Amino acid sequence: MSLGTIYTKIAAGEATRTRALLPERLIKYFKINVKVSDPDEVFPAKFPMKLVPAFQFPDGTLLSESLPINLFLLQQVENHGGLLGDNSQKAWAQNLQWMEFINNDFMRPSGQVFGMIVGRKPFNQDVFNFFMNELRNVAVPVIEKHLDESEYLTGSAVSIADLYAATMFLRPLGYFMDEEWRSQLPRTMEWWEKVSKHPVFDNFFADLQMVDKFTPPN
Ligand SMILES: N[C@@H](CCC(=O)N[C@@H](CS)C(=O)NCC(=O)O)C(=O)O
């Protein structure tokens, strides 16, 4: 029986929605019985934020937010390849910690910067500088320092937190995390190269063109 419907905006011609990428890949890779759908005309009434991913259970219960959706999907897989560590409460909490950090402290400024670069958000120099500063001087250094001490985000093996975090580098690497910046992040880039080749992604990142030199808008 189907576990429900996930809304992702994966339709042809639509740009990948970063947060919808991992749930869609988990469903395909682990063959989880979930219908993948684009938002329909009743989507905004069900999910007023109109954001993906979003999930609906067969009984009509709604679930939004990428963290619980990814974790729920993975829990449906008997052999999830150690992606939840040893399944302990500590491993669960560590995964949640890193996913939350990436979604909030990394992805929030990154989304603002990306939005202004591609014109989805009105450009404002001070706001742009503020979020770029958060990324360059706070969030990214936290990741680099952590990966200098730990092979993966939650220890010595790849976890759901790594897979989730790797997807969030899609736009930064493609648009503004240029060669000069990447050269200051040896551990992060080494980690990303490994995690992005995880079979769950099925070579998705092989086509990613990393930006050479980023010229900030003004
Ligand atoms: N906090 C939410 C944020 C979801 C979100 O911002 N989704 C973006 C895609 S990454 C979205 O649907 N944006 C509207 C659009 O692209 O049409 C989560 O973690 O799921």
Q: Compute the distance between CA of residue 218 and CA of residue 73 in angstroms, rounded to an integer.
A: 42
State the CATH class of domain 89-207.
Answer: mainly alpha
Nearest CA owner, ligand 1 atom 17: 51
Domain definitions of the chain by residue range: 4-75, 89-207
104 CA to centre of ligand 1 in angstroms: 12
19 CA to centre of ligand 1 in angstroms: 6
CB 110 less than 6 A from any atom of ligand 1: no
Query: Which tens digit of pLDDT belongs to each residue from 156-168?
Result: 999 999 999 999 9
Query: What pLDDT is recorded for position 1?
Result: 85
Q: Compute the distance between CA of residue 128 and CA of residue 31 in angstroms, rounded to an integer.
A: 41
Query: Which tens digit of pLDDT belongs to each residue from 119-134?
Result: 999 999 999 999 999 9
Closest C-alpha to 77, from 19, 37, 33, 36:
33
CATH fold of 4-75: Glutaredoxin (3.40.30)
Q: Compute the distance between CA of residue 97 and CA of residue 75 in angstroms, rounded to an integer.
A: 17
* Section 181-197 average pLDDT: 98
Residue 21 banded pLDDT, cuts 50, 70, 90: very high
Cα distances from 95 to residues 70, 113, 147, in angstroms, run 11, 26, 15
